[in-house]
Each structure stands twice: as structure tokens, then as C-alpha cells.
Amino acid sequence: MTSSVGRLDTEDLTSRVQAMYREVALHPEQGFHFETGRPLAERLGYDPSQLDRIPAPAIDSFAGVGYFLDLAAIEAGETVLDLGSGSGMDSLLAAVATGPGGAVIGVDMTPEQLAKATRLAAGAGLANVAFREGRIEAPPVDPGSVDCVVSNGVINLAPDKGAVFTAAAAALRPGGRLALADIVTENELPAGVTCNASLWASCIGGAMQQGRHLEAIERAGFEILEVRANERYRFLSDQAVNASREYGVKSVSLLATRRGA
Ligand SMILES: C[S@@+](CC[C@H](N)C(=O)[O-])C[C@H]1O[C@@H](n2cnc3c(N)ncnc32)[C@H](O)[C@@H]1O
């Protein structure tokens, strides 16, 4: 069923996002309008010695926008949910952090990303991570079963961000953490940008104004503990660079806890 937010065709958006990230999974070397891979991960702050502990193809297809695992501070034995897990880089790093006594569930809607992440986890002998097909607006996990929800570069792609934050809160136990990196804007984007599914799929059109982004997280039941700008995230295409200048499009990392502990 096609629904729309403003005049955005959400069915068209889903197809475009899946088509783009199918390529990121299958042909990460081809080059995109956004950066990918190990050079990006290291520049954003990922520890090279940690990256060496997971399969390289997961890092090749990394398409995140910031580092936040220090904020997540995942402990051994915890259960982690990765919303929009892609080819699995953050999920696999989280699986190393939780150890065999913990569990990581990666959720994504692009079959090729799920297949790649699943294959890499099995090849690495990481039995404590599983990848499930689903939408981040309604991830397939039991309510209150998760200690930490993470997400990297994904929520800007979701038309209903309130639903994503509400779903994250529902998945978490009281006191559980939400640690994410995402694209936000300083100024509201005009309708010409927000209703363009192509710009949206490029991680620009769906970016929420930062104040409203924080309000949406709080409204879902979180207390925000830390927000920091990812100064080292760069936009590549002229369109993205121009939007970044004009509307203050930028990457942030954030830590929040679910109220009610
Ligand atoms: C920018 S990539 C980031 C992937 C991964 N987090 C990383 O850092 O490499 C976005 C991913 O989110 C997935 N995605 C986007 N919108 C989604 C939604 N509504 N539900 C589930 N997955 C979604 C895409 O399939 C894609 O794999």
C-alpha cells in the first residue's frame, strides 16, 4: 500500500533505498554519492584494532555517518538491537563486545544486506548475532527485551521517525540505552527537498531539524544524555555539499536512556 508523508511517495522511497543499499552490499567498491568502507570508519573514530576483529567485507560495505559505540558502552552479556544493520559492521562489533553470553539482533529491510551480514557472522563464528528482516518502525523483537538499541545513518531514511523512536523505546528495558549516529539539519528543509524521494534516499531529504529530532526522541520516552557533532563526516555529491551549507545538514551522535528505570 502506498502512503505519503506530505507529497513523499513512501513506496517509491522504500524501493529506492533498497536499490541503493543492495548495491552497497553487493558492489561496495563501485563508489557512491556518500563515503563507505574502512577509511570512512577510521576517520569517524572506529578503533582499527577493533575493526581487525570482524570480517573485512562488512567494513567494505559500512555506510554509517558517525561513531557512537563509546556512547553505547556495550557490556558483556547484554542484548543489543541494531536498527538498519546493513552489512553488519556495527552489529559484529557489538557481538564482540557482548561476548558469547550476550546477543545482537540486526534488523534491515534490504535482503542483500541481510544475506551478506548473516554469511559474514557465520563465517566469523559469531553465533551470538542474528539478522532479521523487518522495518525499523516495528522491529521483530520482544518488548522490553533489549539493553541497548544502536543505529547508524538509518533513521533519517524513515518517513515516520516518531514511530522508530517509539519502537526503540518499546524494545528497551527501562533504563536501557539508545546510541545512534544520524543526519540532522540546523534549519528546516523546504518541501522541494523533503518530498523528493531521490534526495531522501540520498540521506538528505529525510533529515530532521535537530531540535525536532531531540523532541521526537524525548516524546518517545527517552532522556537525552549527550549529543555531539561528527565533524569528520563529509558529504560527497555537490547536491549534498550544497544542502549541507544551505540548511546546516550534518551528522550527530547521541546517547539517550529510556525513562522509567
Ligand atoms: C545508510 S545504510 C546504514 C547501514 C549500517 N547501519 C551501516 O552503518 O553501514 C541504511 C540501511 O538501513 C536500511 N533501512 C533503511 N530504512 C529502513 C527501514 N525503514 N527499515 C529497515 N531497514 C531500513 C537499508 O536497507 C540500509 O541497509
Measure 196 CA to ligand 1 centroid, in angstroms: 18
Asked if residue 195 has pLDDT above 80, the reply is no
Mean pLDDT calculated for residue range 6-18? 83
Residues 6+ apart with CB under 8 A from 114: 85, 106, 108, 131, 132, 133
Residue 252 in contact with ligand 1 by CB distance below 6 A: no
Residue 62 in contact with ligand 1 by CB distance below 6 A: yes
Measure 152 CA to ligand 1 centroid, in angstroms: 8
pTM exceeding 0.75: yes
Quick one: cell of 54?
570482524
Asked if residue 2 has pLDDT above 60, the reply is no
Asked if residue 204 has pLDDT above 90, the reply is no
DSSP β-ladder status, 208-209 and 79-83: unpaired
Alpha helices in the chain (DSSP H): 10-26, 37-44, 48-51, 56-60, 69-72, 89-98, 111-123, 161-171, 191-194, 197-201, 210-219, 238-247
- Closest ligand 1 atom, CA of 110? 25
Measure 247 CA to ligand 1 centroid, in angstroms: 23
pLDDT for residue 6: 54
Amino acid at 10: T
Task: Note the pLDDT tens digit of each residue in 207-241.
Answer: 999 999 999 999 999 999 999 999 999 988 787 78
Task: Note the pLDDT tens digit of each residue in 127-183.
Answer: 999 999 999 999 999 999 999 999 999 999 999 999 999 999 999 999 999 999 999
Average pLDDT of the chain is 93
